[in-house]
Structure 1
Amino acid sequence: MCAKVTKQQPLSGVQLVTILEPTATISEQFRTIRTNIQFSQVAQKLTVIMITSAKKSEGKSTVSANLAVTWANQGQSTLLVDADLRRPTVHKTFQLSNQYGLTSLLTTDNTLDYTATMQATMVENLYVMPSGPIPPNPSELLNTSRMNQVIADLKQNFDFVIFDVPPVGVVSDAQIMGTKVDGTVLVVPQGIALKNSVVQAKAALENVHAKILGVVMNRVNSTEDKYYGGYYGSDS
């Protein structure tokens, strides 16, 4: 099933500016963020990363979806996984069914193949794995050997995988996933995120030895663009 993205889309998902306005300044910034992430770990190939934030409604899903588009536009087979099993949005953004998804894989042991849960999008090389039905125990599902196996399978079959995970400061899901992926990007909205919340989110990730690649500062005030700012490496 392919997504049908129009100028009015999405009504309940996030804005796919990299599709709707590919030549806009914002889209170019997403491409710059992609490049910076690619070169942030020159000694190690990054295949699986996760995008999170300190609190909810800070733009992590927008960053995840638009970065996935820019990666696919490079000709790399890219999978966007909705690992926010509490407030999923990816299926809404791409107007796809959420009947089957990540939770389906995690609750059926090895009886279901990942290909049964992923869906093609209108963007060449870009596939989506929705969250699937919202489970009663998201953290427990993510913290399993089955989740490890799913990630291993995806690494073997995609050039790049992005997990959209819940905020660090709300639930433990991001800390769990931070131990399983190759790197983590923290989204911080200027003028919205509280300094203490960001510091605590960074500390929570470091406590589980998650590899923080950097920060995406979004909604930055600018004369040209008032939505997205830039990417700052973990050493900044």
Structure 2
Amino acid sequence: MNKKRRGNKESAEGRKIVMATKEQTSVSEQFRTIRTNIMYSSVDKPIRSVLFTSATPGAGKSTIAANMAIAYAQAGKRTLLLDADLRRPTTHYTFEVMNRIGLSTAIVSDVELVDLVKHTDYDMLDLITSGPIPPNPSELLSSKRLEQFMNTLNIHYEMIIIDSPPLLSVTDAQILSKRADGVVLVTNVENNNRNQLLEAKDLLNRADANIIGLLLNQRDVRSGGKDGYYYYESASEKSWQHNLKHKTP
């Protein structure tokens, strides 16, 4: 495994890793609240893997996933952030690591987990990047080898945070939702669109995904506030009706 590098708070702040640079702000507290809500979203079966996706690009799901991974690590959970966006991966930029090998490599080749995992600057948090972008992402994600790989990861980690492509663009997120204990759908104030979110929800339902929450990104509840407010609701019909009231002009 790669050796730990020294923390780079300026870099983290530039990429909106608020859990590392602004631990005492209201935004960081919202991430901790979301972590708690996810923990109690299932009584019969513990949630040990969560897929973060969105209806369309630009909602901030990758930033949310990165911050949530740090939030779990800060809670003492051995956490893995898995970049399963094999089309437009970003986590290697966020954490400033190489992306020569990663998830795509694990699916097509026999690579030891120790060679795939990258340690981050945050205690208890590891990262597996996307790896080289393949010509057939959906086929790779549908393979039996991914299922076997996820089973291996579940042995080594207490929580796995998965970053996936948007739902309305490609089928990848639907496929990946079968490998996660829960799915959180991310939207934001600027691009929030009722019809698109309902379509995304329908796609997840068709895949028998366990939708555990809807997260509204960048909802500012303080006049003149600089920090975005991350608002989370469980995936009940009432919460969907409440959160889908914002429409794109």
| Alignment correspondent of 2:203 | 204
Q: Which moved more, 1:217-226 or 1:85-94?
A: 217-226
Does 1:136 pair with 2:135? yes
| Alignment correspondent of 1:90 | 91
Matches within 5 A, 1:88-167: 88-108=89-109, 111-167=110-166
Q: Distance in 2 between matches of 1:93 and 1:3?
A: 14
How far the C-alpha of 1:225 sits from its partner, in A, is 5.9
Q: Distance in 1 between matches of 2:165 and 2:15?
A: 15
Q: Which moved more, 1:2-11 or 1:182-191?
A: 2-11
The answer (yes or no) to whether the contact 1:82–1:130 under 8 Å persists in 2 is: yes
The answer (yes or no) to whether the contact 1:3–1:95 under 8 Å persists in 2 is: no
Q: Which moved more, 1:213-222 or 1:146-155?
A: 213-222
| Alignment correspondent of 1:183 | 182
The answer (yes or no) to whether the contact 1:3–1:122 under 8 Å persists in 2 is: yes
Instruction: Provide TM-score, normalisation by structure 1.
Output: 0.94
1:48-77: CA deviation from partner (whole Å, max 9, x where unpaired): 111000000101001100000010011111
1:17-51: CA deviation from partner (whole Å, max 9, x where unpaired): 10011111111111111110111112211111110
How far the C-alpha of 1:226 sits from its partner, in A, is 4.8
Name structure 1 gaps, 5 residues minimum. Answer: none
Instruction: Provide TM-score, normalisation by structure 2.
Output: 0.89
Identity level (%): 37
Q: Distance in 2 between matches of 1:172 and 1:228?
A: 29
CA 7–112 in structure 1, closer or farther in 2 if over 3 Å, else same:
closer
Q: How many residues align?
A: 233
Give 1:218's aligned amino acid.
Answer: N
Q: Distance in 2 between matches of 1:98 and 1:4?
A: 19
Q: Secondary structure at the match of 1:92?
A: helix
1:125-161: CA deviation from partner (whole Å, max 9, x where unpaired): 0000000111111111000100000110011110000
CA 76–10 in structure 1, closer or farther in 2 if over 3 Å, else same:
closer
| Alignment correspondent of 1:43 | 44
Give 1:6's aligned amino acid.
Answer: N
Q: Distance in 2 between matches of 1:200 and 1:4?
A: 43
The answer (yes or no) to whether the contact 2:12–2:20 under 8 Å persists in 1 is: no
Judging by fraction of residues, say which structure has more helix. 2
Name structure 2 gaps, 5 residues minimum. Answer: 240-249
The answer (yes or no) to whether the contact 1:4–1:94 under 8 Å persists in 2 is: no
How far the C-alpha of 1:5 sits from its partner, in A, is 4.6
Runs of 4+ more than 6 Å apart: none
Q: Which moved more, 1:134-143 or 1:112-121?
A: 112-121
Give 1:127's aligned amino acid.
Answer: D
Q: Distance in 2 between matches of 1:211 and 1:167?
A: 17
